[in-house]
Amino acid sequence: MRARRAARLALGLLALCGALVAIVVLSLATGARAIPIEAVWAALTAFDPTSSEHRIIWDLRLPRTVTGVMVGAALGLAGAVLQGATRNPLADPSILGIHAGASLAVVLGVALLGMTQLTSYVWLAFTGAGAAMLVVYSVASLGRDGATPVKLALAGAAITAVLHAIINAMLLTSPRTLDEVRFWQVGSLSGRTLDIVIQVAPFLALGTVLALGSARLLDGLSLGDDVARSLGQRIGLSRGLAALAAVILAGASTAAAGPIAFVGLTVPHVARAITGPGYRWILPYSMLLAPILLLGADIVGRIIAPPGEVQVGIVTAFLGAPFFIALVRRRKLAAL
Amino acid sequence: MHRRRVAAGLAGALLASFALALYFGDYPVGLPEIVRSLLSPITGHADKGVDFIVLQVRLPRAILAVLSGAAFALSGITFQTLLRNPLASPDIIGIAHGASAAAVFCIIVLGWSGLAVSFGAFAGALLTALAIYLLAWRGGINAFRVVLIGIGVAAMLVAAISYLFTRARLNEVQQAMAWLVGSLNASRPGDVLVLGAAMLVLVPLMATFIRGLDAIELGDDTARALGARVELARLGLMLVAVGLAAFATAAVGPVGFVAFVSGPLARNLLRGAGRGFLHAALVGSLVMLVSDLVAQHSLPSVQLPVGVVTGACGALFLLWLLVASGRSGRVN
């Protein structure tokens, strides 16, 4: 019975891999100018620098698609790990203040240091995300019972509010900064270069390893603090490790694509609905489902409003929010 | 006894801040001149310069702060009481976001300004509240479900606002941005009149509905046993609370955290002596007025919008709540 279930879930993972490959090809083929699949294949295997189609694939769509896959996987994993570590079904990089920290760092960099390059946003966003999560976690740990799920979420909301108050003050007094960041702040995959991919790749790799490695710890935490403790698990350490993984993943992905909400929130719920509890399966499922969702949303955004495009962060919000609402309506609240 | 003392203390503080609000500013006006100017409609005294500063600039602004603060606070404490959850205030469950999205749409897409934007914001808040209510209805209303669905709706509205921002010209974005943060910098006498009239209708209505609250506070089962009148009171209160939030947001923008903090602060001051709608209203007015004074005068040469101050203070309050609840070993 157990082996059959494992085989079924492994087969599901394979199917998701196939779906991911399919959507990657679709992402390379669609856009302001549709390119036939054969041409996509030719561009990848036999690059011809004189062909404008091949140039579009290599200069624009490939970096964009690779960024989407990496950012999506990171957001899905980050959300799943955060939900497990905080035992909070609403945990998400945006709810725990990570996005706001990254945004403030970028806004400060643009306003005070005059930075304008996406590649310089990377380090700012990463630092800000890490700092915000550290502050949120320390604040939530104040008091007798440590960083409980409710306190973590509340501390995240409080810190987010403080950071947004500062961001708003900066943006109101500096039109130049407002103009500069209003496109980044939406969350978008367009205009990404391979430079950015290369810069964030090591962080994403480290975060992925940490996240996947924490599956057993998360399963322990999901039994409740007392049970986990009685099983000999060091709760603080487990939670800290998982939070570290989430910060690295969410910070790096925010740096690359801006704050994209709802992917980290919804994908783990879908994964859990397929796999049941147990983070050894939830984590890899989230890691594959999220980039499929993100690339799908990006493709929709590219074709929905020609000649322009709708940024992926907006599409995911409009796909993710109704889904989230349906989830809240359908499930027994006790199960959240 | 304790209730009265707290109310008197709050009213005294409010009066003092009101006087300060008339007194402080770039153009110095002495207290006697202020009094003379305030009485000028009766006495016929006229000093055009002073009258303009006091009656046209500072007085509407201070009144608007008091009215909107009270409206936000009453709306917040109603939601928090009805749903028995401190997180369920209109600025957190998405109603303020509905007003914001509608206002940004009016400014950027329709090119409106002034009072027209306020009416757009009002319609947005009402529609959003209705949508959240319908989405959260499942044979009844559950506080946790309302908060969660509100967060989902708010996220969509924020995305819509971001999208409008990427499509607009920079000066339109700036105009919308200033409205979004919540500000008294552009208070007009028209706003005071509209909000004042609305409160004149809504607050007495609220007082009559509050009587039905006693049953609701006993819990859903008891309330259900008491039947339809409770449902009616609940629905009526909900509508009045949405109306107050909507009119206040329309007048001054979605000033953050005032609705959220006023109720819990009032309860803290009362230490369990009653429900404290009146006290919450006083706290809300005081928070708004003092925050606006700080916003106006803390930085030389820059007039911060009041929402920046209430955002920072509200967050500090939330942090304090966390630390205090950590010490006593419970949350909320």
Q: Which residues of A touch B305 (CB under 8 A)?
A: 168, 172
H or E element in which residue A161 lies = helix A149-173
How many helices and strands, by DSSP H and E, does chain A display?
Answer: 15, 0
Q: How many CB atoms lie within 10 A of CB A306?
A: 8
Give yes or no for B174 touching A (CB within 8 A): yes
- Yes or no: say if A153 and A282 are a contact pair by the CB < 8 Å rule: no
Give yes or no for A319 touching B (CB within 8 A): no
Give yes or no for B327 touching A (CB within 8 A): yes
Fold of B2-321: ABC transporter involved in vitamin B12 uptake, BtuC (1.10.3470)
Q: Nearest residue of A to residue B160 by CA position?
A: A314
Test the B interface: residue of A173, A266, A325, A331 with most B CBs within 10 Å: A325
**pLDDT tens track, chain A, 336 positions:** 678 888 888 998 999 999 999 999 999 888 777 788 888 888 888 888 888 888 888 888 899 999 999 999 999 999 999 888 877 777 788 778 888 898 899 899 888 887 777 777 778 888 898 899 888 888 877 766 666 666 777 777 778 877 887 887 788 888 888 888 877 778 888 878 888 888 889 989 999 999 999 888 888 888 877 888 888 778 778 888 888 898 889 888 888 888 888 889 889 988 988 888 889 999 999 999 999 999 999 999 988 877 778 889 899 988 888 877 887 787 654 444
Number of residues assigned to chain A: 336
Q: How many CB atoms lie within 10 A of CB A173?
A: 13
Interface of A with B in 150-209 (CB under 8 A): 150-151, 154-155, 157-159, 161-162, 164-166, 168-169, 171-173, 175, 178-179, 182-183, 185-186
Ranges of H-type helices in chain B: 2-23, 31-43, 48-51, 59-82, 95-108, 115-136, 143-167, 170-181, 189-210, 213-217, 220-226, 228-252, 258-270, 277-297, 306-328
**CA atoms of A127 and B138, how far apart (whole Å):** 43
Ranges of each domain in chain B: 2-321
ipTM: 0.76
- Any residues with CB less than 8 A from the CB of A109 and at least 6 apart, and which? A115, A120, A121, A124
Q: How many CB atoms lie within 10 A of CB B225?
A: 11
**Residue B110 C-alpha, separation from nearest chain A C-alpha, in angstroms:** 19
Q: Which residues of B touch A297 (CB under 8 A)?
A: none
**Residue A100 C-alpha, separation from nearest chain B C-alpha, in angstroms:** 14
Q: Which tens digits make up the pLDDT trace of A245-285?
A: 988 898 888 888 888 888 898 899 889 888 888 899 999 99
Q: Which tens digits make up the pLDDT trace of B57-107?
A: 889 999 999 999 999 999 999 998 888 777 778 887 888 889 889 989 998
pTM value?
Answer: 0.80
Write out the two tokens for A150: 């409710």
Q: Measured on CA atoms in the order B79, B81, B82, B88, is the torsion positive or negative?
A: positive
Q: How many CB atoms lie within 10 A of CB A103?
A: 26
**CA atoms of B296 and A28, how far apart (whole Å):** 52
B315 closest CB neighbour out of A161, A182, A324: A161
Give yes or no for A86 touching B (CB within 8 A): no
Give yes or no for B141 touching A (CB within 8 A): no
Write out the two tokens for A1: 């019975």
Provide the mean pLDDT of chain B: 83
DSSP string, A21-77: HHHHHHHHH-SSS---HHHHHHHHHS--TT-HHHHIIIIIIHHHHHHHHHHHHHHHH
